[in-house]
């Protein structure tokens, strides 16, 4: 399977067999029936042994008991006990629907109970059961074998140490070392219940289902044989060479290439180095699409510095014949943490091919001592470190001064270049403005510099402004601190959101900015109205 996101049809699961359904049938509940006699319909020869009530029947023996007919080469009939023993080429026909074959058989007419020995076969429609010893209770419609049997139905072959078959219900029960093989899958379990009318298997105990795409493991669930649909709800796991998914419950529809997982979901794709977690997930293999929601959390661990992302819903696109783009999308309340950058927004897309991050709708990015905002933010990552940041529309970069105040850069668009993880220079386009607190080497304040131009380039040193190059419509004024009012020390749109900055990966689960939360709530209300 080319990604089972890595989950899975959204249906309600009901009707699972309870534990007691896997127990052998209770033969003590056998109904009482009026005694009927065994009848000899035909035999070529009859011999009665002296001093015994046994009658020896030889040649084309035909015996009937009610609607069941017995055929064999020879038999001993015991009239007083209402029973007989049959030998060679034994064939039993039950109600014109079931045929049984063996080499030797004993039958008790009062108990309506038979024992079959050697080369035992039982045929019911397209179901064939084979073993070396089997019993059959006509009142309970129950066939049992205690020591290894093989059941064949269509292209399926079922092997177990112990087996039961209810011919009236078309139900098979297998115990101990159960193996199911077919061209489409193989199953290995301790206990299996199979209803041939519904073509549905229930299993209990350690179970493994193997097909060409993946392996499923669990301890309880069911399998729909005609639909190739499996459901596990106790310690389920699904995996292949590069992907693994676990959850409290797991469903996989092989025909649709669809998987669903619920509660405590953990999905890992080692080929793309992605871990996806949440409480609900779906995977569509053929289209290369999956998502997780409800406490969704993604870890991208390419290299030593992992990227951690959380959102209301995380979407994961992986490569298939129909999709060649690998990306992760976070939607609603997105927050992320990486050692050299952190951020939050409403929608974030991470493209794996070129390590590009796109942030949309109220994005905030923190890198070193800087805070970046804008209508949108694009981040380029090279060798696991930030290479550049592009802020489009109402771009604003703010950093805290070493003593007091805030250094600020604003423009229509802004691109920040990094070297070795440190901010190197910034290109500002469209009504560029700055407010910077200039200090002596000893920290004494020189003044507050306010400048503007059409465009500018800001050179950084040790993450602080070193020089500014202005281009067109230049205006620059240095104010003593006492001469600049408090309100004039901030550019339009200034906001400082350091309290919402995640300090480690655990803090990405904390609430974001109030403005962001309120906007999301309003968007949700608008969506409902639409």
CB 10, CB 282: distance < 8 Å? yes
Res 221: pLDDT? 93
Domains, the chain, with CATH or none: 236-339 (2.60.450.10), 350-500+514-529 (2.60.450.10)
Whole-prediction pTM: 0.73
- pLDDT given for residue 257 in this prediction: 85
What tens digit of pLDDT does each residue of 456-498 get? 998 887 767 778 888 888 888 899 988 888 888 999 889 899 9
Q: What per-residue confidence (pLDDT) applies to 159? A: 96
Instruction: Give the integer Cα–Cα distance in Å for 241 and 270.
Output: 9
Q: How far apart are CA 83 and CA 72, in angstroms?
A: 15
Alpha carbons 250 and 238: distance in angstroms, whole number: 8
The pair of three-digit structure tokens given for residue 322, joined into one six-digit string: 């129909």
Query: What value does the CA radius of gyration of the chain take, rounded to a whole number of Å?
Result: 38
Within 8 A by CB and 6+ apart from 456, the residues are 411, 427, 428, 432, 434, 468, 469, 470, 471
List the beta bridge partners of residue 44.
none
pLDDT at 404: 82
Phi-psi region of 60 (alpha: psi -120 to 50; beta: other; left: phi over 0): left
pLDDT the model gives residue 29: 56
- b/e for 373-406, b at 16 or more Cβ within 10 A? bbebbbbbbeebbbbbbbbbebbbbbbebeeebb
Angle 368-339-393 (CA atoms, 0-180°, nearest 5)? 55
Q: Can you give the pLDDT at residue 382?
A: 83
Mean pLDDT of the chain: 85
Tens digits of residue pLDDT in 190-215: 999 999 999 999 999 999 999 888 89
> Cβ atoms within 10 A of the Cβ of 348, count?
25
Closest CA to 228 of 211, 245, 208, 241: 211
Tokens in use for 444?
């004494």
Which secondary-structure segment (H or E) carries 457? Answer: strand 445-461
Q: Please, which residues have CB within 8 angstroms of residue 306's CB and are 6 or more apart in sequence?
A: 299, 300, 338, 505
Nearest partner of 72 among 112, 37, 24, 104, judged by Cα: 104
**Average pLDDT per consecutive 10 residues, the chain (530 residues; last block may be shorter):** 31 28 48 84 89 89 95 95 96 90 96 96 93 95 94 94 94 94 92 93 92 89 90 91 90 88 90 86 84 85 80 84 79 88 90 86 88 92 84 91 86 88 86 88 85 89 79 89 89 90 86 51 40
Question: 72-81 long-range contacts, Cβ below 8 Å, gap at least 24?
Answer: 72/105, 75/43, 77/38, 77/40, 78/53, 78/54, 79/53, 79/55, 80/53, 81/53, 81/108, 81/110
Buried b (16+ CB within 10 A) or exposed e, 248-284: ebbbbbbeebbbbbbeebbbbbeebebbbbbbbbbbb
């Amino acid at each position: 399977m080319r990604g089972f996101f890595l989950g899975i049809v959204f249906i309600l699961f009901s009707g699972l067999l309870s534990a007691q359904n896997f127990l052998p049938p209770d033969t003590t509940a056998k109904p009482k029936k009026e005694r009927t006699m065994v009848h000899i319909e035909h035999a070529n020869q009859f011999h009665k042994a002296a001093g015994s009530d046994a009658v020896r029947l030889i040649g084309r023996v035909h015996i009937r008991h009610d609607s069941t007919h017995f055929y064999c080469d020879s038999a001993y009939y015991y009239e007083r006990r209402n029973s007989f023993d049959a030998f060679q080429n034994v064939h039993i026909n039950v109600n014109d629907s079931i045929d049984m074959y063996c080499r030797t058989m004993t039958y008790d007419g009062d108990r309506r109970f038979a024992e079959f020995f050697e080369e035992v076969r039982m045929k019911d429609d397209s179901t064939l059961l084979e073993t070396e010893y089997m019993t059959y209770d006509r009142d309970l419609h129950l066939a049992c074998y205690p020591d290894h049997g093989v059941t064949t139905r269509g292209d399926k072959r079922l092997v177990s140490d112990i087996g039961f078959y209810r011919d009236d219900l078309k139900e098979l029960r297998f115990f101990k070392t159960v193996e199911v093989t077919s061209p489409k899958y193989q199953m290995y379990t301790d206990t299996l219940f199979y209803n041939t009318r519904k073509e549905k298997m229930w299993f209990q105990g350690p179970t493994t289902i193997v097909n060409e795409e993946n392996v499923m493991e669990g301890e309880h669930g069911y399998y729909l044989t005609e639909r190739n649909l499996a459901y596990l709800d106790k310690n389920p796991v699904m995996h292949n060479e590069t992907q693994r998914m676990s959850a409290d419950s797991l469903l996989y529809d092989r025909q649709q290439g669809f998987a669903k997982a619920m509660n405590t979901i953990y999905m890992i794709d080692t080929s793309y180095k992605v871990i996806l977690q949440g409480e609900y997930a779906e995977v569509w293999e053929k289209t290369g699409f999956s998502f997780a929601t409800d406490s969704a959390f993604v870890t991208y661990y390419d290299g030593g510095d992992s990227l951690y992302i959380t959102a209301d819903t995380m979407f994961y696109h992986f490569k298939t014949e129909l999709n060649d783009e690998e990306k992760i999308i976070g939607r609603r309340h997105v927050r992320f943490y990486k050692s050299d950058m952190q951020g939050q927004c409403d929608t974030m897309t991470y493209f794996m091919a070129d390590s590009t991050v796109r942030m949309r709708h109220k994005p905030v990015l923190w890198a070193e001592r800087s805070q970046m905002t804008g209508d949108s933010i694009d981040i380029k990552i090279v060798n696991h470190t930030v290479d550049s940041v592009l802020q489009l529309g109402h771009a604003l970069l703010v950093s805290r001064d070493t003593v007091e105040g805030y250094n600020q850069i604003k423009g229509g668009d802004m691109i920040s270049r990094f070297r070795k993880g440190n901010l190197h220079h910034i290109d500002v386009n469209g009504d560029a403005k700055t407010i910077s607190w200039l200090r002596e080497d000893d920290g004494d304040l020189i003044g507050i510099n306010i400048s503007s131009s059409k465009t500018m380039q800001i050179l950084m040193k040790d993450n602080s402004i070193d020089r500014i190059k202005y281009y067109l419509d230049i205006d620059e004024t240095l104010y003593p601190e006492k001469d600049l009012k408090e309100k004039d020390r901030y550019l339009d749109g200034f906001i400082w959101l350091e309290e919402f900055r995640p300090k480690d990966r655990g803090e990405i689960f904390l609430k974001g900015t109030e403005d962001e939360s309120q906007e999301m709530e309003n968007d949700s209300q608008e969506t409902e109205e639409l």
